[in-house]
Structure formats: structure tokens, C-alpha cells
Amino acid sequence: MSSTEVELRSTIGGFTATGKLHTLSVWFILALRLMMGIAFFQSGFGKVLSGSFDAAGYLQNAPPSNGSPVADLFVAMGSNAAFVDFVNIAVPWGEVLIGLGLLFGALTRLAAFWGAFMMLLFYLGNWDISHGYINGDFAYMLVFLSVAAFGAGRILGLDAYIEAYEIDGQPLVERYPWARYFLG
């Protein structure tokens, strides 16, 4: 293995996958994190500024009209006024906070998890399989999961500093190992 490659190895369910990454991969991982951060921040910020985001019509109409396999769930969500009020705040502000988390590389895994969750909901709500099961929403979901898996917040991000922050002489993630699920 050359000095410009890093070996990866993972075993899940008895299956082992190995591979080699070029050290330039770090720049592509950073680019994915920043791309998703900009996209989500921009989308959420526009919704927050307009002050007119309302999910009710979408929830009640789009999934049934496009044949979503979970259309009934979306209709039920759109029929519950309290849930719609929650979504009308959670989607714009969630996008803003996810975007900021990714842009600054802070709480990156937490931000990426919620970004992937939102993209899964968008994938199911925007159901269109006329060109296959893979669309932009699905691809973005995988990008979010990749950002989390690679610990992209450690690449020119605040997570590297947060993880190393010492509490009683011990780095935060050593003292609180569960923090690794949110940082990185």
C-alpha cells in the first residue's frame, strides 16, 4: 500500500468489505459535506424568510397523486393540524440547522442523520419511479449517510475540536463515548 492510500475494512453480518482510499478522498468528503450544508441551509433559509411555508397541501395531495406506497400516512399527517403546525416549523428550521451543522462541521453526524431522515421522507413523498427507484432524494440520503460514516465533521470542522476538548484531562469523546454518535 502506498503512502497516499488508506485501507478500510468493515464486517457486518459476517460479510467483510475492504478497500483502499486515496488520501485525496478527504477533499471529496469535505466537498460532499459542504455541498449538502449549502443546499440545506439555502433551502431552509428561503422558507424561513418567506414565512409562508405550509406543508398541509403537499402532505394531503402530492403522495396520493404520485402513487407513493405510504400515501395514507402522509394524508393522515396532513390532516392533523397540530402535526402540520409542527412540520411547518420543523422543516424550514431543520433544514437551516442541518445546513449550519454541516457547513461548520459541528454535530455533523447528528445533522447528517436528520438530513438522511428528511430525505427518506422526501423520497417517499415525492415518489416517482418512472425512471427507476433511484432519484435525487434517494441519492442525497446516501450522501448524508456517507458524510456521517466518514466522520466528515473532523475534516476542517468544529467536531475535531469538540471531540478533543478536555474534561478533567480527558478528551470529551473518551470520557463520553456516546458523543461519537453525534460528532464526527
Q: For the chain, what is the domain count?
A: 1
Distance CA 78, CA 63 (A): 11
Distance CA 94, CA 87 (A): 10
Task: Tell me if 51 is assigned to some domain.
Answer: yes
Task: Tell me if 6 is assigned to some domain.
Answer: no
Regarding beta strands 166-167 and 5-12, do their DSSP bridges make them parallel or antiparallel, or are they unpaired?
unpaired
Distance CA 144, CA 33 (A): 8
For 166, the grid coordinates are 478536555
Beta bridge partner(s), residue 159: none
Tell me which residue range forms the domain holding 79.
26-152
Task: Tell me if 15 is assigned to some domain.
Answer: no
Which amino acid, 37? G
Note whether 94 and 119 are within 8 A (CB).
no
Degrees, nearest 5: CA angle 167-169-171: 60
State the pLDDT at residue 92.
Answer: 96
12: Cβ–Cβ under 8 A, 6 or more apart, which residues?
none
Task: Tell me if 165 is assigned to some domain.
Answer: no
Task: Tell me if 175 is assigned to some domain.
Answer: no
Which amino acid, 38? I
pLDDT (tens digit, 0 to 9) for every residue of the chain, 184 residues total?
A: 555 677 888 899 999 998 888 888 889 999 999 999 999 999 999 999 998 899 998 898 888 888 889 999 999 999 999 999 999 999 999 999 999 999 999 999 999 999 999 999 999 998 887 777 888 899 999 999 999 999 999 999 999 999 999 999 999 989 998 998 899 8
Task: Tell me if 85 is assigned to some domain.
Answer: yes
State the pLDDT at residue 3.
Answer: 58
Task: Tell me if 121 is assigned to some domain.
Answer: yes
